[in-house]
Every structure is written in structure tokens, then in C-alpha cells.
Amino acid sequence: MESFGVEGEYEKLKAIFLPFITPSHLVPVVDIARIFAMHGVDVTIITTPGNAAVFQSSIDRDASRGRSIQTHLVQLPHVPGLPEGVETINATTSKDIASKLFEALNKTIQTQFQQLLHQYKPDFFVSDMFYTWSVDAAAEFGIPRLIYVGGTYFAHCAMDSLERFEPHKKVESDDESFLIPGLPYNLEMTRSQIPERFKKPDDTFSYLMKIVKESEKRSHGSLFKSFYAFEGAYEELYRTIMGTKSWNVGPISSWVNQDAADKGSRGHGKEVEEGKGKEGWLAWLNSKKKGSVVYVCFGSMNNFSGTQIREIAHGLEDCGHDFMWVVRKIDEDESRAVVEEFEKRVEASEKGYLIWGWAPQLLILEHPAVGGVVTHCGMNTVIETVDAGLPMVTWPLFAEQFFNERLVVDVLKIAVPVGAKEWKTWGEFGNEVVGREKIAKAIGLLMGGGEEYEEVRRRVKALSEEAKKAIQIGGSSYNSLKDVIQEMKLLKLEKLKKPVA
Ligand code: UDP
């Protein structure tokens, strides 16, 4: 552990972290909080009991390692229509309940946060992008607000270009490609692949994202879990277009989760796989040859139609490679029965292994038997996969995932696209069904070992080396963390030196 000091340091920095309540925002913000605590900052994370249960074991381990880190719990108020115990927005949360949860959360956390600012007197705080009100709290309290926006710099730059130049309005149809101007790379996309909010600027979500962007610009700076070798050119462009500071602290997951207990329980709170016991997935991977297994996971928010689930099952069975598939949620009885039958069959033939619910992804990615990943291009998974040195089959679904796909396929050339064409609203199935042939073909190319794909493997291995260097002493992300902590200390010093009015 290294504490980054400045000359004349007089006491520890205190910070509050406000993570959001979806796994893919909660998990990285907690990891970022832990990295600050690992480097000498006194950290308090504010969340609800249900969300704390997901990460508290890591906080307890960090505290026993001598780090100053704790959780402050806030209770959600009763909101009509919000079922007892629902505190997280993920694949199992309906849209209606998600909006009630958002309302309840904002109601309670905003008031309690104001009280906590007075009680804890932090020197700065880190807020998830969705707590837009916290930018005013920072101004009122006279301390810096750092914002966590998620996503890649690449996606932020591309989305800014769409807002500014609206190239998608200049094409005739949804599947005609257009160029996104102003980027270091000639990025081509189609209207069907860009988020709905660019096509419906007046809907509620578009409005929310406008407010998020305003609060991003009014923040002291942004924290990203990326690293320079991954998308440095876009990091610089982001700073220019946003006119704010930003710091890179990635790959965060391997920096802060250094032992098997941290990695195994990350995002879940438990190390045990539901239904199959702790050793199930591990014993299966241990029985496989080096690099022979493709790991298939679509993150924490996916929700496929029964038809699509069946196509995935067939595609995996037809691809000719061993696979591990994380299945989250199947509402429809008939499709669930088909997948359960499929599971029995592929586990009996030892070709495949299914994990229901939550997989210990960090441990799986570092297992030598895993040779490739099918991903929906969620930013966390993309960085974790690159960090593990594994090439990808990309299958973007929603949010900024289609932009991330272009980064890894076209710019970095470390992935093979499955050929998805349609951006989907979260929680909706959309019209497109990616067929079994496309799925089997993309996996076959990636895992098949042809010369072109050996190059893909070499490139991602080289990037993985860079990821490892970034978080070592003197590395780009290490220096970035050092910079932001020193800046927070200098701001604290300046504030203390100011004469009291
Ligand atoms: N994750 C995991 N096990 C799972 C599903 C997801 O550990 O079964 C973790 C994954 O490692 C990543 C995060 O949850 O850190 C998912 O974030 P991502 O940005 O990839 O996708 P999202 O959930 O936002 O769609």
C-alpha cells in the first residue's frame, strides 16, 4: 500500500462514494472506492442494505488489511408499488419497478447525503452519474465532486459527435452506414445501432442524459476505469470536448481484487455457485485443455427472448468448441425447459457447462482453459477480458455497447463481431434474432486458430501486458490515481488556508 502525500500533509483525506444500484455501476465504483482506501484515503461508501450485501465482505477484508474503509447504510422509504427487498436494478427488475426504485432512492439518498456531508465533513466525494443533484450539493458544501460516468472514452466521444453533428439524420434508412465525424478513427455505424435517445431527443431518458452531461461538465473531473494504451487518443479528445479533467484508474478489477476471495465474491457477496456448489465450474474448467473453452456471458442486465435463447443454445452446440455459458433469466417456461434439457445433454457429453445467475467472472477469465469470450461489450467485461489477454466475439445489445464493439473490432482489432445490427432498449427483446449459424461461425473463427485470428490473439496479449503495466508503480493508471489524490489534497490545503469570513 502506498499513501500518496504532498508536502505539508497534515491529515488523512476523507471521501464519500455514492455508487448507483445496478451491478455494473455498483461493482466498479466500489472497486474505485477500495483503490482510494488502498492508497491512504479514508473512505465511506453510501448505499442500501441490499446493495451493501453484494460487496460488504470485500470491505471487511480491506478493513482487516488495515485500510480505512466503511459502509454507511441508508434505508429505502416505502413507495407504493415497490416490492419489499427490491433494491437493485438488473435483469430481474421490471422497468416499472426500476423507475419506482429510482424515485425511492433519489428521495432518501439526497436528504441523507446532505446530513452526512455535515456529519463526516469529507474533503471530496465521488458520485455516480445518475445522482445529478449531487453537483449542487458539492457547490453548496464547497468540496470537489468527481463523477463516475461508466463507458469508454471512445463511446463518450462518439456520442458527443452524434449530438453535435447529427450524421444519423442525413441517411435515408436505418441500415445505411454513416461516418461519425471528429474522431481520430473513421468510425462508421448505422442508425439501427445507435441508442434510441439520439433519435428521440425529447423522451425522459434523453432528458436525464442531458442533465447528466451538464453535471459532468460542472464536476471537478471524471473517473474512468480505462487505461492509456487501450484508448489514449480518445481520453485526450474527451478532455477537449468536455472541457473537464479526467483520470484513468483501470483496469480497476485486477488492481484491487488481488486474492481469490475478493475475485470470487465480487459483485455477488458469495463465492458459491448457485445450485452446483463451489467447485462445479472450477472442476469442469480444470478438466479442459489450455485455451480450449469459450466463455459466454452477457453481463448483469440482459434479457433475451425465448427464441434468441434457443438460437444461442444451438449456436454453442454447433460451434465445435467447449463452452461455459452464463444464463441469467428465462421467464418463459417452455424455453427454460429447453435450456434445462440442453444443459443435461451438454454436461453429459462434457461439451458445455451452464452457470445460472451470477458467475465468478474474474476467476473464470484468468483460468488457463478459457481461450475466448463472447460478450455483449459492457465496458466492465471488455476491460476485464482485455486485462485477461483474451480475444472476443462481440454481440452488443444496448447502452453504449455498439460503440465499444467498434473500438475492439475496428480500432484495436482484438475481436470478431457476431453481426448484431439492432440497438435494443434495456429490458426489451427488439426485432432482431441473431441466428445459430452466425453465432457458431463467429466462435469458430475466433477459437479455430487461423493465422488472421492468431494475430488477434497476439494483439490482445500485448494489450494485456500494457494493462498490467498501467497499474504498477510508475504506470499510467497508477500515476493518474496519484495525481487525483494529490490534487484532492492540494484543494483541501487551499481550503484550509482560506481566511474564515
Ligand atoms: N459479472 C460477473 N458475473 C456475472 C455477470 C457479470 O462477475 O455473471 C460482472 C462482470 O465481471 C462485470 C460486471 O459484472 O464487472 C458487468 O458489467 P458490464 O459493464 O460488463 O455489463 P452490464 O452488466 O452493464 O451489462
Averaged pLDDT for residues 201-217:
91
- pLDDT, one tens digit per residue, over 38-58 is 999 999 999 999 999 999 999
**What's at 194, amino acid-wise?**
I
Name which residue leads in pLDDT, 394 or 274: 394
Reference 402, options 204, 196, 210, 256; nearest CA is 196
Q: Pick the range with the lowest mean pLDDT from 2-6, 77-81, 143-147, 474-478.
A: 2-6
Cα(122)–Cα(488) distance, rounded to whole angstroms?
A: 11
pLDDT at 469: 98
pTM, to two decimals? 0.95
pLDDT reported for residue 270 = 65
Q: Give the residue carrying C-alpha cell 429490458.
A: 427
The percent of residues in the chain predicted with pLDDT above 70, rounded, is 95
Active site residues: 25, 128
Can you name the residues that pair with 15 across neighbouring β-strands? 43, 124
Residue 247: its pLDDT value, please? Answer: 98
In the reported structure, the alpha carbon of residue 380 is separated from the centroid of ligand 1 by a whole-number distance in angstroms of 6
Q: Is the CB of 326 under 6 A from ligand 1?
A: yes
Q: Can you give the pLDDT at residue 329?
A: 74
Q: Does the interface predicted TM-score (ipTM) exceed 0.90?
A: yes
Residue-wise pLDDT tens digits, 439-492: 999 999 999 988 889 999 999 999 999 999 999 999 999 999 999 999 999 999
Q: How far apart are alpha carbons 148 and 135 in whole angstroms?
A: 12
pLDDT in tens, 287-306: 999 999 999 999 999 889 99
Let me know: does 338 contact 313? Beta carbons within 8 Å.
yes
CA–CA separation, 442 and 464 (whole Å): 22
Q: Measure 387 CA to ligand 1 centroid, in angstroms.
A: 14
Q: How confident is the model at residue 275 (pLDDT cuts 50, 70, 90)?
A: low
The ligand 1 atom nearest the CA atom of 25? 24
CB-ligand 1 contact for 27 (6 Å cutoff): yes
Establish whether residue 254 lines the binding site of ligand 1, counting it when its CB lies within 6 angstroms of any ligand atom.
no
pLDDT tens digit sequence for 65-107: 999 999 999 998 888 888 888 898 887 778 889 988 888 888 8
pLDDT > 90: percent of the chain: 79
- Residue 154 main-chain phi, psi, to 5 deg: -55, -50
Question: Would you say the CB of residue 384 lies under 6 angstroms from ligand 1?
Answer: yes
Residue 141 class from Cβ within 10 Å (0-12 exposed, 13-18 middle, 19+ buried)?
A: middle
Check residue 9 and give its pLDDT. Answer: 52
Query: Which pLDDT score, from 0 to 100, does residue 346 have?
Result: 97
* Average pLDDT, rounded, for the chain: 93
C-alpha of residue 136 to centroid of ligand 1, in Å:
31
Give the domains, in start order, of the chain with CATH numbers: 14-255+473-497 (3.40.50.2000), 272-467 (3.40.50.2000)
Q: How far apart are CA 180 and CA 158, in angstroms?
A: 7
What pLDDT is stored for residue 5 in this prediction?
61
Give the per-residue pLDDT at 416. 97
pLDDT tens-place string over residues 398-429: 999 999 999 999 999 999 999 999 999 988 89
Task: Name 95's Cβ contacts closer than 8 Å, sequence gap at least 6.
Answer: 426, 427
Instruction: Indicate the pLDDT class of residue 8, thresholds 50, 70 and 90.
Output: low
Between the CA of 442 and the centroid of ligand 1 the distance, in Å, is 22
What pLDDT score was predicted for residue 276?
64
Nearest CA-CA partner of 24 in 299, 241, 426 = 299
Tens digit of pLDDT for each residue in 368-378? Answer: 999 999 999 99
State which of 93, 281, 381 you would mutate to test the pocket of ligand 1, scoring each by most atoms of that ligand within 8 A of its C-beta: 381
Ligand 1 touching residue 23 (CB < 6 A): yes
Whether residue 361 has its Cβ less than 6 Å from ligand 1: yes
Return the ∠ at Cα 387 (arms to 384 and 393), rounded to 5°.
65
Nearest one of 260, 498, 298, 290 to 393, comparing CA atoms = 298
Whether a cis peptide bond, with omega within 30° of 0, leads into 251 is yes
Mean pLDDT value of segment 383-402: 98
Distance, CA of 60 to CA of 37 (rounded, Å): 12
Contact 220, 246 (CB under 8 A): no
pLDDT for 10 equals 57
**Which residue has its alpha carbon closest to ligand 1 atom 7?**
361
Q: Region 167-183: what's the mean pLDDT?
A: 96
Which class for 110: exposed (0-12), middle (13-18), buried (19 or more C-beta within 10 A)?
A: middle
- Pick the atom of ligand 1 nearest to 379's CA: 19
